[in-house]
Amino acid sequence: MNDQETDRDTLRPGGPNSSSRVISLNGGHTHALASVLSRALFNDPCFTYMVPDDNERRSVLPAFLNSVIGAGHSHGECYTTPAFEGGAVGIRSDYAAMFQRSVWTRLSATNFTLSRSSLRRSIRLSTRLEQVRQELVRIPHWHLIALGLDPQNERFLSGSGLLQPVLSRADSDGFCCYLETFQERSLSFYKEQGFRIEGCGRISESGPRFWAMIRAPHR
C-alpha cells in the first residue's frame, strides 16, 4: 500500500517546494487521513486487485484505511502534515499480530462489508504478502504499511519527508525497514531512500506483480 495513482503522482524525493511539516498523527484525525489515502491509493494495483469494482472500492476503502491508520496509531507510528496532504504508517514486527487483530476489530465495529469474491482476493493477497515477509526478513524490523500523497497536493509535498520519521525510528532501534510495493515506477524512489529489492512475485497467475524491499539500519 505504498504508491500513487498515476505517473504524475509517483513518489519523488523532495524538491524546492517540499516544505510541508511532517507531524505525528493525532488519534482524533484518522478519518481525515483515511480520506486522503483513499484518494492516493484508489488505483493502486494492490486495491484494484482486491476490489476490482470501482464503486465497491470507493465504498469500502475509507473504512478499511481508517482501521489501518487507527491500528497503526495504537501499535506503531503514523505521520502526516498539518493539512493532511499525505500519510505514512509503520509498525514494528513484534507488534504485527496486535496490529492485525486491531484492524479487524475496528472493521467489525463498522458496517464494512466485502463481496465474496473481493474477500477471497483480499485473503489471498494478505496471505501471500505475509508469507513473503516472513521468508525474507526473519529478524526484528519495521514494516512500512502505507505511504501515500494526496494527488491534489503531491507536487508540494515529498514522499521522502513522510517516510523519514519511520526510517529514523527503525534506525534508532537498530532495525531494518521492510515494504512491499505494487508499482514498478516507485522502485527508484525507494532505492534513493536506501531500500534494495530482495524479492518479487505475483499474487496469483492473473494477479498484480509486487516487489519486496529492505533497507538496512543507518547508524
List the Cα angle 191/196/202 in 5-degree steps.
105
Residue 128 lies in a domain: yes
Element (H, E) at 145: strand 141-149
pLDDT, tens digit, 9 for 90 and up, residues 120-178: 999 999 999 999 999 999 999 999 999 999 887 655 556 789 999 999 999 999 999 99
Q: What confidence score (pLDDT) does residue 2 get? A: 64
Residue 207 in contact with residue 215, Cβ under 8 Å? no
pTM here? Answer: 0.88
Which residues constitute the domain of residue 211? 20-215
Residue 55 lies in a domain: yes
The count of domains in the chain is 1
Residue 52 lies in a domain: yes
Q: What confidence score (pLDDT) does residue 4 get? A: 42
CA distances for 77 relative to 24, 26, 90, 212, angstroms? 8, 11, 5, 20
Check which CATH number belongs to the domain holding 115 and give it: 3.40.630.30
pLDDT, tens digit, 9 for 90 and up, residues 9-46: 344 434 334 446 899 999 899 999 999 999 999 999 99
Mean pLDDT of 185-205: 94
Residue 200 lies in a domain: yes
Tell me which residue of 47, 74, 78 sits closest to 62, measured CA to CA: 47
Mean pLDDT of 50-68: 96
The pair phi, psi for residue 198, each rounded to 5°, is: -115, -10
Strands of the 23-24 sheet, one edge to the other: 23-24, 76-80, 86-92, 141-149, 176-181, 209-215, 196-202
Statement: residue 191 has pLDDT above 60 = yes
Residue 10 lies in a domain: no
Residue 9 lies in a domain: no
pLDDT band at 53 (very low <50, low <70, confident <90, very high): very high
Q: How far apart are CA 216 and CA 195, in angstroms?
A: 8
